[in-house]
Amino acid sequence: MKMYDTLVLGAGPCGIRSAIVLKEAGLDIAVIEGYTPGGKINIAPRVDNYPGFTKIPGPDLAMEFFNWLNKANVEMIPDIITSLTKDNDIFTVTCENGSYQAKTVIIATGTKERELGLPNEKELFGKGVSYCAVCDGHFFKDQDILIIGGGNTALKEAIYMADIAHHVYLIHRRNEFRGNNYLVDELKALPNTTILTPYVPVSILGEDKVTGAVIENRETGEQKTLHVQGVFPLVGQIPNSQFIKIDGVTNEWGNIPVDPKTKQTSVEGLYAGGDILPRDIRQIYLSEVDGKMACKAILEYLKK
């Protein structure tokens, strides 16, 4: 089995930045990516605050990142990671189609959208329930849809969907939003949107496809039915860390605590960065900074 200096897990902003820095430093490395290079930016309707771009559609920025990775001649392994173990100072990364070994590893696999946990949410996934407006939005052209959540992701996806759908409802369990005020104002100014607070979803209606959703006012207990054909739960993320089979790396929520300076985890030679860390703000540049800091530490570690 081939032994790398470093394996980078995930080709989002953290993984791509890390891979380029390590490759330029002359290390023997590869990036393993199971889905779409560029990571979460691929599903961002637009990126508002990446230096150099005032506003850019997420998929376009993801393509810039991917081109940058290709130009650096970084080896890409397109595969889904199923386990990460460590034996005698060597890490083994097992994927669906092969296994690889490395002296050091950077975990940059980010997060995925949290499910609401409603009874028929799973059954109606792909039949009106979606976690990504950029991926599935066009299926809801001129239809009525419901977005659930109060963060920037929910607000941005609601603004994006207002351009496509007939009407967009957004419900949030609190009266105050976690997301930025300017996005709330932008959404409120759109003619075909309705914001309802403090509401929570009670059930998603439909058998073969979504036909509506029942929501409940948390203050009054009043329930109402929204006749929508699409439901987008955007209520937070869970870390993509289930494949880690080394004790003590993740915390109780599955995030990976790291040393703030080196980004090393509780295990020597194992580093992590980006959205998978326990943090309140998740941004592209933060993910890249994590990657850069981990690379510096890896170069020092490998010298030893």
The residue ranges that bind ligand FAD (CB under 6 A) are 10-15, 32-35, 39-41, 43-44, 47-50, 80-81, 108-110, 153, 156-157, 240, 243, 274-275, 282-285, 287
Question: 217: burial class by Cβ within 10 Å (0-12, 13-18, 19+)?
Answer: middle
Closer of 10 and 128 to ligand FAD (Cβ): 10
Closer of 216 and 275 to ligand FAD (Cβ): 275
How far apart, in whole angstroms, are the C-alpha atoms of residue 2 and residue 28? Answer: 10
Residue 108: which residues within 8 A CB-CB, separation 6 or more?
A: 8, 9, 10, 11, 12, 14, 15, 18, 272, 273, 274, 276, 287, 290, 291
Residue 222 CB, shortest distance to ligand FAD, in Å, is 30
Quick one: which of 273, 303, 210 has its CA closest to 10? 273
Closer of 131 and 199 to ligand FAD (Cβ): 131
Residue 16 CB, shortest distance to ligand FAD, in Å, is 7
Residue 122 CB, shortest distance to ligand FAD, in Å, is 20
Residue 142 CB, shortest distance to ligand FAD, in Å, is 22
Rounded (10°) CA dihedral 204, 178, 277, 153: 50
How far apart, in whole angstroms, are the C-alpha atoms of residue 22 and residue 196? Answer: 48
Residue 8 CB, shortest distance to ligand FAD, in Å, is 10
Whether the CB-CB separation of 8 and 99 falls below 8 Å is answered with: no
Closer of 14 and 22 to ligand FAD (Cβ): 14
Helix (H) or strand (E) holding 144: strand 144-148
Whether the CB-CB separation of 102 and 90 falls below 8 Å is answered with: yes
Dihedrals phi, psi of 161, to nearest 5 degrees? -70, -25
Residue 220 CB, shortest distance to ligand FAD, in Å, is 31
Q: Which residue has the tokens 């790396």?
A: 249
Residue 37 CB, shortest distance to ligand FAD, in Å, is 6
Q: Which residue has the tokens 């607070």?
A: 197
Closer of 144 and 157 to ligand FAD (Cβ): 157
